[in-house]
Amino acid sequence: MDKNKLLDLLRQNARLSNAEIAAMTGETEENVANGIKALEDEGYIIGYSAIIDEEKADDSGVTAVIELKITPIKDRGFDDLAHTIMEFDEVDSVYLMSGAYDLMVTISGTSLRNVALFVSERLAVLDGVLSTATHFILRRYKEKHHIFNEEKYDDRSMVSP
Amino acid sequence: MNYDEIIPKKIRDIQPSGIRKFFDIAQHVPDVISLSIGEPDFKTPWTVRKEAINILERGKTAYTANSGLMQLRKSVCGYLHDFINTDYDPESEVIITVGGSEAIDLAVRALIEPGCEVLVPEPSFVCYSPIVRMMGGTPVPIVTKAEDKFRLTAQALKEKITDRTRMLVLPYPNNPTGAVMRKNDLESIAEVLRGTNIIVASDEIYAEMTYNGIKHVSIAEIDGMKERTLVISGFSKAYAMTGWRLGYIAGPQPIIKQMLKLHQYCIMSSPTVSQYAAIKAIEDCKPDVVHMVEEYDMRRRLCVKAFNDMGLECFEPEGAFYVFPCIKSTGMSSEEFCEKLVYDKKVAVVPGNAFGQSGEGFVRVSYAYSVQHLETAFSRIRDFLKEN
């Protein structure tokens, strides 16, 4: 079945059942199951997770975005250091960026102090790290097309032509 | 004061829409989830809203020409050329109206006088017959059936034509059934009408919403039909612009010329900001329409399967955004079913008989809702069917 269609549907809602996807796309359930399996096997889908309002789930937890400037290594570029950084459990995501800095790292921790210590004691000291800048997330408005604290309302009248 | 004495009987006798009647019931039940809405759940595409903001900022708030902005009329004619292969002169063959509804009203008012009969395939949208009656005409329902996929057949049409027949309303893609007339169906209807003086009011407001790879065909495209057809459409459904109140009517110049007087005295000109925004919609929003139609299509399949699995036989609609499941197996009338469902399970669907007597035994379900919303409603309806 159409790979992009399937990815689109799962991007919107990964919890749709195979039966629902089959009904929606006019495919058989078996085709849907095989399609998803192929996407997983081929590495298009690398995992599933819920989008959680972390402020509600853990109101003392903090998330920070850290900008890292680093020195690329001959023939290896930024990959070695990126791999080292992503091995830390505290690290949620690591991206190589264009622009004013090189790596963007997001980190979750139990307190501002813990995150700040992690940055100064574990990241800043790594060979090749030139500088860090830490930004704490104060409020989440939207993530992956989902809106936090959205008032669910339908301003259409209940019955209409 | 005795108001009945001063309000003409013909006005007093008009029945409020059956949809409205059900709304009055449903709105008094708290926490109802609705599957009754006949308008898109999408917001108007952002480019269109932004254009409206620009127009307001630039202070373009005056009346337009009676028949609408020339630029919009040209856009509409260009669109009709591409979409239904039919050419209209933007000068004299199109009027920009306040929604498709005004276009329907103009068509009937310009053509119907006492003694005229207007053929209305049913089930269909609720406004045709009351307007015909207001003009002193007689609406003549033509029953369409599930076994004919709710299409109008040449045979059924022929049986109802008399020497008083002035107009045929052709409401396809159909609200509430989702039925679509294919080209060969239209050919056989055209065969009956060519050579008569019957005008077709072709209400094509859902034309962009067709599924299973079927492309909408207008009866105006069929040989010899353009001269006897009024094409009625608008921006509400395709571009999710219901509240902007903008539609259009295209047809033969001698009729359009007469309608323009009615429009001029009643409306002056359609909302200016909406008109500018609509130009943008035609220019830029084809991908948005494609996206919305793909979304509707997935929900349509989900609905058809859900109702058939529940044991409520559901014809597979090929257009619009409604399914029209048959509820006769429950032994209830459409109204009983809908009232009980809304009181017991807090789900609102519209009784089929609101769309004409031939809709009895069916309910209209709109799928202009998120998949999650639909699934919640289905599970409540399943419980309802188990208990009844």
Distance from A5 to chain B by nearest Cα, in Å? 10
Contact B107, B256 (CB under 8 A): no
| B228 and B149 inside one domain | yes
Q: A with B: how many residue pairs have Cβ under 8 Å apart? A: 60
Answer yes or no: is pLDDT of B357 > 80: yes
| B180 and B239 inside one domain | yes
Determine the pLDDT at residue B362. 98
Q: Which residues in chain A are closer than 8 Å to B32, comparing Cβ atoms?
A: 158
Cβ neighbors of B380 (< 8 A, separation 6 or more) are B33, B345, B346, B347
pTM: 0.89
| A127 and A58 inside one domain | yes
| A90 and A115 inside one domain | yes
Domain annotation covers residue A145: no
| B280 and B252 inside one domain | yes
Distance, in Å, from the CA atom of B329 to the CA atom of A127, rounded to the nearest integer, reads: 75
Which residue from B34, B41, B44 is spatially nearest to B370, judged by alpha carbons? B41
| A36 and A70 inside one domain | no
Answer yes or no: is pLDDT of B258 > 70: yes
Distance from A141 to chain B by nearest Cα, in Å? 19
Contact B333, B373 (CB under 8 A): no
Determine the pLDDT at residue A54. 86
Determine the pLDDT at residue A158. 72
Which residue from B271, B360, B234, B251 is spatially nearest to B62, judged by alpha carbons? B271
Contact state of A159 with B39 under an 8 Å Cβ cutoff: no
Determine the pLDDT at residue A75. 79
Contact state of A158 with B23 under an 8 Å Cβ cutoff: yes
B27: pLDDT confidence band, cut at 50, 70 and 90?
confident
Section B368-375 average pLDDT: 93
Domain annotation covers residue A72: yes
| B257 and B372 inside one domain | no
Contact state of A161 with B175 under an 8 Å Cβ cutoff: yes
Cα-based angle A138, A143, A146 (whole degrees, multiple of 5): 125
Distance, in Å, from the CA atom of B145 to the CA atom of B362, rounded to the nearest integer, reads: 11
The model's pLDDT over B330-345, given as tens digits with 9 standing for 90+, comes to: 999 999 999 999 999 9
The model's pLDDT over B269-292, given as tens digits with 9 standing for 90+, comes to: 999 999 999 999 999 999 999 999
| A62 and A25 inside one domain | no
| B185 and B301 inside one domain | no
| Boundary of a domain, candidates B269, B284, B299 | B284
Distance from A58 to chain B by nearest Cα, in Å? 27
DSSP run (H or E) holding B117: strand B117-122
Determine the pLDDT at residue B132. 97
Residues constituting chain B: 388
B2: pLDDT confidence band, cut at 50, 70 and 90?
very high
The residue range of the domain holding A70 is 54-139
| B306 and B373 inside one domain | yes
Q: Which of B101, B124, B301 to mutate to test the interface with A (most CBs of A within 10 A)?
A: B301
A18: pLDDT confidence band, cut at 50, 70 and 90?
very high
Section B20-47 average pLDDT: 89
Answer yes or no: is pLDDT of A157 > 80: no
| A63 and A7 inside one domain | no
CATH number of the domain encompassing residue B150: 3.40.640.10
Number of domains in chain B: 2
Contact state of B27 with A158 under an 8 Å Cβ cutoff: yes
Domain annotation covers residue A47: no
Q: Which residues of A touch B (CB under 8 A)?
A: 9, 13, 16, 20, 23-26, 154, 156-161
The 3-class SS string of B167-235 reads EEEECCCCCCCCCCCCHHHHHHHHHHHCCCCCEEEEECCCCCCECCCCCCCCHHHCCCCHHHEEEEEEC
Torsion of CA A109, A115, A119, A121, to 10 degrees: -100
Determine the pLDDT at residue B98. 98
Contact B337, B363 (CB under 8 A): yes
Section B188-211 average pLDDT: 97
Contact state of A160 with B125 under an 8 Å Cβ cutoff: no
Q: Which residues in chain B are closer than 8 Å to A154, comparing Cβ atoms?
A: 34, 37, 41
Q: Which residues in chain A are closer than 8 Å to B126, comparing Cβ atoms?
A: 161
| A18 and A92 inside one domain | no
Q: Name the amino acid, one letter, at B49.
A: R
CA atoms within 13 A on the CB side of B164: 13
The model's pLDDT over B89-98, given as tens digits with 9 standing for 90+, comes to: 999 999 999 9
| Boundary of a domain, candidates B246, B265, B284 | B284
Determine the pLDDT at residue A73. 84
Residue B350 sits at the chain A interface (C-beta within 8 Å): yes
Answer yes or no: is pLDDT of B116 > 90: yes
| Boundary of a domain, candidates B236, B251, B284 | B284
Determine the pLDDT at residue A56. 87
| A129 and A85 inside one domain | yes
pLDDT, mean over chain B: 96
| B230 and B378 inside one domain | no
Q: Which of A9, A159, A160 to mutate to test the interface with B (most CBs of B within 10 A)?
A: A159
Q: Which of B19, B23, B31, B37 to mutate to test the interface with A (most CBs of A within 10 A)?
A: B37
B159: pLDDT confidence band, cut at 50, 70 and 90?
very high
Contact A29, A22 (CB under 8 A): yes
A159: pLDDT confidence band, cut at 50, 70 and 90?
low
Q: Which residues in chain A are closer than 8 Å to B21, comparing Cβ atoms?
A: none
Contact B282, B51 (CB under 8 A): no
Domain annotation covers residue A158: no
What percentage of chain B has pLDDT greater than the value 70? 100
Query: Nearest CB to B126: which of A20, A156, A161?
Result: A161
| B373 and B319 inside one domain | yes
Query: Nearest CB to A158: which of B36, B125, B126?
Result: B36
Determine the pLDDT at residue B192. 98
Answer yes or no: is pLDDT of A152 > 80: no
Determine the pLDDT at residue B25. 83
Answer yes or no: is pLDDT of B356 > 70: yes
Contact state of A23 with B302 under an 8 Å Cβ cutoff: yes
The model's pLDDT over B140-152, given as tens digits with 9 standing for 90+, comes to: 999 999 999 999 9
Contact state of B37 with A24 under an 8 Å Cβ cutoff: no
What percentage of chain A has pLDDT greater than the value 90? 76
| A75 and A35 inside one domain | no
Domain annotation covers residue A154: no
Contact state of A24 with B19 under an 8 Å Cβ cutoff: no
The DSSP call for residue B362 is B
Determine the pLDDT at residue B16. 84
Contact state of B17 with A25 under an 8 Å Cβ cutoff: no
The residue range of the domain holding B40 is 3-44+287-387
| B93 and B236 inside one domain | yes
| A34 and A97 inside one domain | no
| B174 and B267 inside one domain | yes
Determine the pLDDT at residue A146. 87
Number of domains in chain A: 2
The model's pLDDT over B290-300, given as tens digits with 9 standing for 90+, comes to: 999 999 999 99
Domain annotation covers residue A89: yes
More confident residue, A107 or A157: A107
| B273 and B186 inside one domain | yes
CATH number of the domain encompassing residue A132: 3.30.70.920
- Measured in whole angstroms, how far is the alpha carbon of residue B209 from the centre of its chain? 12
Contact state of B306 with A26 under an 8 Å Cβ cutoff: no
pLDDT, mean over chain A: 91
B173: pLDDT confidence band, cut at 50, 70 and 90?
very high
Token pair for residue A47? 């995992």
| B241 and B350 inside one domain | no
| A81 and A135 inside one domain | yes
| A65 and A110 inside one domain | yes
Strand, coil or helix: B92: coil
CATH number of the domain encompassing residue B315: 3.90.1150.10
Domain annotation covers residue A88: yes
Contact state of A159 with B302 under an 8 Å Cβ cutoff: no
Residue B302 sits at the chain A interface (C-beta within 8 Å): yes
Residue B37 sits at the chain A interface (C-beta within 8 Å): yes
Contact state of B125 with A161 under an 8 Å Cβ cutoff: yes
| A98 and A33 inside one domain | no
Distance, in Å, from the CA atom of B81 to the CA atom of A6, rounded to the nearest integer, reads: 35
More confident residue, B273 or A54: B273
Cβ neighbors of B50 (< 8 A, separation 6 or more) are none
Distance, in Å, from the CA atom of B378 to the CA atom of B323, rounded to the nearest integer, reads: 13
> Could you tell me which chain A residue has the CA closest to the CA of B321?
A161
